[in-house]
Structures are given as structure tokens and as C-alpha cells.
Structure 1
Amino acid sequence: MQILITGGAGFIGGHLAETFVGEGHSVTVFDNLDPYYDVGIKEKNIQAARNTADRTDGNYELVKGSVTDGETVTGLVSNADIVYHQAAQAGVRTSVDNPRKPHEVNVDGTLNILDAARNSDVERVVLASSSSVYGKPEYLPYDEDHPTNPVSPYGVSKLAAEQYARVYSEIYGLPTVSLRYFTVYGLRMRPNMAITNFVSRCINGKPPVIYGSGEQTRDFTYIDDIVRVNEQLLSDDSADGEILNVGSTDNIDIETLAAVVRDELARDLDIEYDEARTGDAEHTHADVSKANELLGYEPTVDIREGVTNFIDWYQKNRDWYEPLVLNS
């Protein structure tokens, strides 16, 4: 199968590329290698997929460019059987400082993908959305019928993108599935995430820093669970036209998360607190019953197991991963 993964050098996209190549598919990764975080991590994602291609019957190609380039997007999409649209301008706090960039990439870029797909023979577009679309909870856990009132420009851009995908499915008959990810973590994750920062500081004998009271809660979803549900959508049309939560069932508050990391690495450290950051949601908690009903989705890795996996991996890869993380 010919698979196009936009943002395929990123965290989730890189794991998808590595998995699909390992299964013998022909994968084209389209990524602009934006230095939103250190490009060295993205290069590791690329190399991991290439190494897998060398050991299997799969094929891997990297095309450098942006989803805002409609002409290039059209050419790539026209050669694909299925598109995994992972490319996005990430970062809630970054979007607060510059709201136009996530609109340009996440909304206009998505429209380029959808327009190209509806004019081709693409079997399905799988869109990466986000729990950030929900904003302030009226009730928890969030189901897909919960009101969407995002509290950041990033959340607004992801909501607009998934709604365009839904409308393109309804009006043009383009099979689309939007997956609302809930705080994905794991090996080769972005270095500016809470888990990474907690681990990095504790390994280096510095107390973990919590922004806000620590009472904020999150669903942390392990990368293997995310890969598995995307993998199923290679051939499963049960969720076409739908928007689905993809999270865990292991909600945890940030203070407890910091303590879990601290206790595993440096039990004598205190936990420090700083001012809350603008645009961060207070709580996220996924109701995944719809994804379970349509796709049989069941998260398999709880937060403590996932954190242990990440710490083990981190310690083995400190020589290249740790310098990319701020420990100040």
C-alpha cells in the first residue's frame, strides 16, 4: 500500500512510518523539519524508519516541504492510497504568542490535503486532532458530544481542521477519520512535554517543576496505543466520517505524575511550583467508548508502566536525547 504521512518525521508520524515500513508498505514522509524543537530528534525518527526499511520489504522516502504548499501536496496525495495527516504547528503556548501560524499550517494546510484527496483516488484521510478542542470541561470524561470551547488558538485550529474533514466527508464523500489525541507520550517524544522535563530534571538531580497547582489532570496516552488504532485504519472503514477520542483510561493529576517520576529516579528531591501557563487546559479525560465500539480500541499501557518504559529508554539514549532538553 502507498501511504503518505504528513509530519512523518515528528513523534507520532515517525512511529507510524516505522511501523508501516516494517509491515512492507511503501511510505512517503512529507515534513518541513520545522525547528519547533530540535531537529536532531526528527532525524532520529527518520533514521529509525530507514533502518526498518533496510531490514524489510518496505520502502521509505522523505520529501521535504510544507503542507501549505498546495502544488506539492496535490502531487503527493495523488500517488497515495491512504493519507495520515499528522503535520501541524504544535504547541498551546506557542499559539498564544503567534495565533496566525497554527491557522496557516493546521487549517489552510489541512484544506490543501482535503482538496487534493477529494480529487484523487485516496481511500481515506486520517487526521490527527487533539483533546485541546474541548477546552473547559462541562463534565468529565469528555465524550465526542461534549461542547467544544477551546481555550487556545491551537485548539481552535485543530477544531476547524477536524470540522473541515467531517464536512468533506459529508459533502464530497471523502472518507475521513479524525482522532482526538489525549497527551501522547513515549520513546522519542517531544522534549518540551511534562514527562520529559520531569525525567530530565530528576536524572540530573534537579527538582521537577510544576506549572500551576499540580491539581490539573491529564489522560496520558502511550504511543503504542496510538500507533495501533492508526494501523487499524489502514483497512477498517468502520469509522469513516467520524471524530473519535483516542486516550487512556488512566487519568492522573500532574502533581502525582511528578511524584511518580521523582520517586523512581530521585526520591529525596522536593517538587517545585511555578506560575500556571496561559492556554493550558485544567483537565482532560477521555471517554473512549465510541472508538471502542467502532474500532475495538482499548488502551493497554497505563501511566506508570509507560513512564517506566520512557525512563529506561531515556537512560539508554541520554547521549543524544538529553542535551536537547532544557535542564535549567
Structure 2
Amino acid sequence: MNLSGKKVLVTGSEGFIGSHLTEKLVELGAEVTALVQYNSFNNWGWIDTFHKDIKKSLNIVTGDIREYDGLKRVIKGQDVVFHLAALIAIPYSYSSPMAYVRTNVEGTTNVLEACREFGVEKIVHTSTSETYGTALYVPIDEKHPMQGQSPYSASKISADKMAESFYKSFNVPVATIRPFNTYGPRQSARAVIPTIISQILSGKTELKLGSLTPTRDFNYVKDTANAFIKVAESDSTIGEVVNAGSNYEISIGDTVRKIIEVIGKDVKVICDEERLRPEKSEVNRLWADNKKIKELTGWEPKYSLEQGLKETIEWIGNNLSYFKTDIYNV
């Protein structure tokens, strides 16, 4: 499928990955509708920071994936739907699990049902590596068991299974992309890399973090956005789940050391108890097997961790006012 000229909807377009994907789709010549969560301030999230020419090219609509009737009106007439809207903060899911069910499970079901009703050509549903939980073997392929180690991951497992059921029950053309640990410009301080960078650049001499021993498979956001596009373009991904990862594993502790080396400032790392997950909920190891996405779409990451960190550090340095480094961002 060539996305140029296609009518494309992005839910969660105002967010971290969604905003990068939305920009890229405009560059590719798609007719993009950006669904932004309704708010009384008429705030469009990161879309507010787009170049005016990109904003002019967008059809920006406010709404809520939890509200089916409004969502139907947005999806009617679309050729392709990228579904990224979700609650994603793991710590907040411990205190408000039902909010995650309503948004991630019910909201996703609404998207799938509306796409089914209006015959959308392709849906790309967003999963997460958190659905795998702590690796039972590495690298993690798409056949790895799913483990609900937090209410967030449980809600995403449920959403993934709803996507699977709509493909198998109704032949809805949905593909599920499972990104591993995306980072880069526009990511909030709820994630570890911007937390590290923003604290250092704000002049902190003590870096407050949770556990340093878990490993992650980090992917630069531009690579992740391209993975979404490749999954949408490939007919072979319909009915499939595909990992989008680098096939490179690194511990949080080693990531901290890399960032400190690039920035060139000496800081002391201390463990902040508030930032630790409950023991059984911590995902201790993530390492993606990315063979399937390469075979089905030809995608592979272009950015090394060092390249991505440099661009991220530069962006955060120029936008430090977005970060509240004196508080723990849940």
C-alpha cells in the first residue's frame, strides 16, 4: 500500500510517537486527520509545536476514543487508521487501573468496531514490549508468552487480544506493532531517558532513579515512526504481531553512564524508593528479536543509541522548560 494520497487517521496524534508519525505521514503526502483528546484548553499537545505548513496540512479533530458515536464520525471515510491513543504511564496504572481498562481496552474496541463498520483498508494497532513482561528467553520473539506484570501491561494485552479477535472473527485488516522502549524528542519525564537527561541538564548533582539493573531495547523515535509506516504499507502484516526493536540490549545503569559521558557532567546516582516498581511488577529484561518485521516489511533501525541520545540531549537542552525536574513525574 502506498500511503500517498490515502486518507489516514492517527489517534493519539498529539503524543510522543504519534506526533512524529503524524509529521512523517504529511511528508509522505497522506491526507492526515489528527485525532486529539478533547480538552477545554483546546490544547493540541505536540502538534502545537509543528511548523505552520505542517499544521495547515492537517485536519485536526478533538474527541475521545472512549466515546463511540463521536469516534465513528471521525473514522468514517478513512482508508488507514493508526491507533496510538492510550494511557501509558505504568506507575499511574497502579493507582487507577480502571482508567486503563476504559481507555486501552474499551477505547481500542471502539476503534476496531468503527473500522469494521466503515470498511477501513488497514488498521495499525499499537502494542508495547511491556506485554511480554520479564523475558523468559532472549531475544524475545512474537511467540513469547505475554505476562500482565502491571495493570498497564494487562490492559494492553487485552487490547492486543481484541485486535486479534477482530481479525479472526470479522476479517478486519489489522496489524499489531509492538514497539520496544522508544525514546527521543518530545518524550515526557515519565520515561527513564528524558528523566536522566533533564535532571543532569537542569544542574542536578544527584540523579534520582529507580532500579539500574533492568535491561531495555531502546529505539529512537524516528525509527519507530518509520516502523509504523512500513507495517501499514505491507500487506503481509495483516493479522500479524510484529516487534519493532533494535535487537540490542543495555541496562539502565549502562544507559546512565552513556548519557553522562555524552553530556560530560559528573553526577551521583541515587536510588529513589518512590521510583521503584513493586518487586513482582518490575520488568527486568527486554531484548527484541526483530527478524519478523525485517522479513515482512524490510524495516530496520537506522539510528545507533549514541546518535539518538545526542539528538535527544540537544532537544531537551533547548526545551528544558517542559520538564519539572524537582518532582517525580508519574
Query: What is the one-letter code of the residue matched to 2:210?
Result: Y
Matches within 5 A, 1:213-252: 214-252=212-250
Q: CA deviation at 1:248?
A: 1.3
Residues of 2 paired with 1:150 and 1:164: CA distance? 15
Closer, same or farther: CA 90–125 of 1 in aligned 2, 3 Å: same
Aligned to 1:156: 154
Q: Does residue 7 of structure 1 match 2:12?
A: yes
Q: CA deviation at 1:62?
A: 1.5
Aligned to 2:288: 286
Q: CA contact under 8 A between 2:66 and 2:102: conserved in structure 1?
A: yes
User: Please, which moves more after superposition, 26-35 or 103-112?
Assistant: 26-35
Query: What is the one-letter code of the residue matched to 1:72?
Result: G
Closer, same or farther: CA 46–19 of 1 in aligned 2, 3 Å: farther
Aligned to 2:3: none
Q: CA contact under 8 A between 2:7 and 2:32: conserved in structure 1?
A: yes
Aligned to 2:88: 90
Q: Does residue 27 of structure 1 match 2:20?
A: no
Residues of 1 paired with 2:252 and 2:134: CA distance? 17
Aligned to 2:319: 317
Q: CA deviation at 1:15?
A: 0.9
Residues of 1 paired with 2:119 and 2:145: CA distance? 34
Query: What is the one-letter code of the residue matched to 1:27?
Result: V
Query: What is the one-letter code of the residue matched to 1:277?
Result: R
Residues of 2 paired with 1:190 and 1:280: CA distance? 20
Residues of 1 paired with 2:80 and 2:231: CA distance? 9
Matches within 5 A, 1:169-184: 169-184=167-182
Aligned to 1:127: 125
Q: CA deviation at 1:117?
A: 0.8
Residues of 2 paired with 1:280 and 1:33: CA distance? 32
User: Please, which moves more after superposition, 295-304 or 178-187?
Assistant: 295-304
Q: CA contact under 8 A between 1:186 and 1:306: conserved in structure 2?
A: yes
Residues of 2 paired with 1:134 and 1:323: CA distance? 31
Closer, same or farther: CA 97–267 of 1 in aligned 2, 3 Å: same
Q: CA deviation at 1:121?
A: 2.3
Q: CA contact under 8 A between 1:210 and 1:255: conserved in structure 2?
A: no
What are the superposed Cα offsets for residues 136-178 of structure 1, whole Å, 9 maximum, x if unpaired? 3211221111111120011011111111111111121111111
Query: What is the one-letter code of the residue matched to 1:2?
Result: K
Closer, same or farther: CA 226–64 of 1 in aligned 2, 3 Å: same
Query: What is the one-letter code of the residue matched to 1:259?
Result: R
User: Please, which moves more after superposition, 271-280 or 289-298?
Assistant: 271-280
What are the superposed Cα offsets for residues 25-61 of structure 1, whole Å, 9 maximum, x if unpaired? 21111121679xxx97x5333441653254xxxx302
Query: What is the one-letter code of the residue matched to 1:210?
Result: L
Aligned residues: 317
Aligned to 1:300, the other structure's residue is in SS state coil
Query: What is the one-letter code of the residue matched to 1:313?
Result: W
Residues of 2 paired with 1:104 and 1:47: CA distance? 29
Closer, same or farther: CA 233–134 of 1 in aligned 2, 3 Å: closer
Query: What is the one-letter code of the residue matched to 2:20?
Result: H
- Name the TM-score, length of structure 1 as normaliser: 0.91
Q: CA contact under 8 A between 1:205 and 1:269: conserved in structure 2?
A: no
Q: CA deviation at 1:135?
A: 1.2
- Name the TM-score, length of structure 2 as normaliser: 0.90
Structure 1: segments with no counterpart, 5+ residues:
none
Q: CA contact under 8 A between 1:49 and 1:60: conserved in structure 2?
A: no
Aligned to 1:165: 163
What are the superposed Cα offsets for residues 103-157 of structure 1, whole Å, 9 maximum, x if unpaired? 0000000110111111112111101100111113211221111111120011011
What are the superposed Cα offsets for residues 283-317 of structure 1, whole Å, 9 maximum, x if unpaired? 11111111111111211212222111111122233
Residues of 1 paired with 2:207 and 2:303: CA distance? 23
